[in-house]
Structure 1
């Protein structure tokens, strides 16, 4: 059927326009992942949901496929982005070690359990709420109290659990929670963005493992789909985002991102509105 992906002789063939759409999406989200430490999921999920529904996937399942596929791309984006940040000494590896255990536990719980049980409609509404929250945080740019610091080891494990769990439900790399949390605890914005990029890998790894477990027995919604994961989109978006994430990371250290964050916040409001519509439409 025209416009739909198909497998022929073991080689995946996609409509050329669909390939271009996925590559552009990967370039844009990869750049923003490096620039703002957001993982790209807040952009990928609404656009992938739209593209999949246009290709005949049921709206409820399209949301789940978009979330899972978005999270899988972060496995690649985070590596590319964090290398660029690490070269500049911006990653707080002590915070990565403190938050990662909780992130893995929270991510597995979300991906293997709650995600599979929730309806796509509720996930869309949940996504809209948290993207709206993240946009508001960016827009207000509230400053923390000078005396506030990161919590100790138990507090970091608990915070990591929340970050991993919420990320698994919305398919984002955790930057929408971890960056505001770290800056609220007086971690500088550049360190917070770089550390968030490093946290993207354990977040994605735990959640993707959960998605694979939760969707193991599902019938593919499209050729090339594996449970909740849509492999053609994963390959194309990851390839493009890996190339553009270092450019975003480089830009993050060369500019004041305050005005950019405000502009990005309004884009997020628009995407949150779209997912709210998808959720309410059911």
Structure 2
């Protein structure tokens, strides 16, 4: 069991960090399912394991986003005007999503993760390169609603926001590389309040694994953070050297595989 734990943390940390820099997803798209299945191997109840995985993933995203943001900022790939527009609705959405996620059955979070990941993968895979609806958001209402959606769902999935914000921004005409860089910064807005929300809603809940505060497991976070921080800059470097379509396909493949694995577990 110890070997399983170490191997899973190394895998999740390295791949999660690479994806954080490469795709702006904060690594959660890898960390959540890996932790979910590791916790299952340790006998954590299925109603709790997804909550612990989500909370721990959000905590690691705080550190990962810091490294990824610095790398993308050096390349001028962060849209700070967009962050000002999206910041408040995303924050409100995260508060709502973390409170709901910490209260419902953990299998609901698993279903949300699987459905949203599959939808986003299909969108990125099937949409033609360069296709878009507008050159930027048509108005503030659309921007606010989309930001609220990103915050709620990201908090329930334990992801940094890139999983949703990258395809949304691409659809509204934002360059894929700037979308990825901005998504890395959005990870801060999602991860900090999201982690606090899951800590508060998990206090005193029986059946949590050792070394947990609320639903946040410090043992897993301590193992993951150094690895994700070390590999995120490499992912960010790759994001600025790969062709746009290759970047989109990479994004879609990882999301699709993750979603299918989650559906198999639910069934």
Q: Settle same-fold status: TM greater than 0.5.
A: yes
Maintained 8 Å contact 2:48/2:106: yes
- Cα contact 2:18–2:231 (8 A) shared by 1: yes
Query: Which portions of structure 1, spanning 4 or more consecutive aligned residues, are displaced by more than 4 angstroms?
Result: none
In the alignment, what sits opposite 1:85? 72
Instruction: Give the direction of change, closer, same or farther, for the CA distance of 1:148–1:47 in structure 2 (3 Å limit).
Output: same
Of 116, 121, 143, the match for 2:102: 116
TM-score (normalised: structure 1) = 0.88
Q: Name the residue aligned to 2:173.
A: 186
**1:150 corresponds to which residue?**
137
Q: 1:247 maps to what in 2?
A: 234
Matched, 1:138 2:119: no
- Contact persistence 1:174–1:196 (CA under 8 A): yes
Distance 1:149-1:267 versus aligned 2 partners, 3 A rule:
closer
CA pair 147-59 structure 1, distance change in 2 beyond 3 A: closer
Alpha carbons 1:122, 1:279 under 8 Å: kept: no
**What's the CA shift for 1:116?**
2.2
Cα drift, residue 175 of structure 1: 0.9
The answer to whether the 8 A contact 1:75-1:200 is kept is yes
How far off its partner does 1:156 sit?
2.6
2:261 is the counterpart of 1:274: yes
> What residue ranges of structure 2 are gaps of 5+ in the alignment?
none
SS at match of 2:102: helix
* Root-mean-square deviation over aligned CA pairs: 1.8
Greater mean alpha carbon deviation, residues 140-149 or residues 171-180: 140-149
Match of 1:235 among 214, 222, 239: 222
TM-score using structure 2 length: 0.93
In the TM superposition, what whole-angstrom CA distance separates every residue of 1:138-188 from its partner, at most 9, and x where no partner exists? 211334347432244443333221111010111111112111111111111
Kindly provide the CA deviation profile for residues 187-215 of structure 1, in whole angstroms up to 9, marking residues without a partner as x. 11110000000100011112112111211
The number of aligned residues is 266
Taking structure 1 as reference, are residues 60 and 277 closer, same or farther at Cα in structure 2, changes over 3 Å only? farther
Higher deviation after alignment, 212-221 or 170-179 = 212-221
Q: Retained in 2: the 8 A contact 1:108–1:209? A: no
Between the aligned partners of 2:94 and 2:134, the Cα distance in structure 1 is 31
For residue 21 of structure 1, report the CA deviation from its aligned partner.
Answer: 2.3
Name the residue aligned to 1:225.
Answer: 212
CA distance, structure 1, for counterparts of residue 265 and residue 216 of structure 2 = 20
CA distance in 1, matches of 2:87, 2:250: 30
The corresponding residue for 1:211 is 198
Higher-Rg member (1/2): 1
The answer for unaligned runs of 5 or more in structure 1 is: 4-14
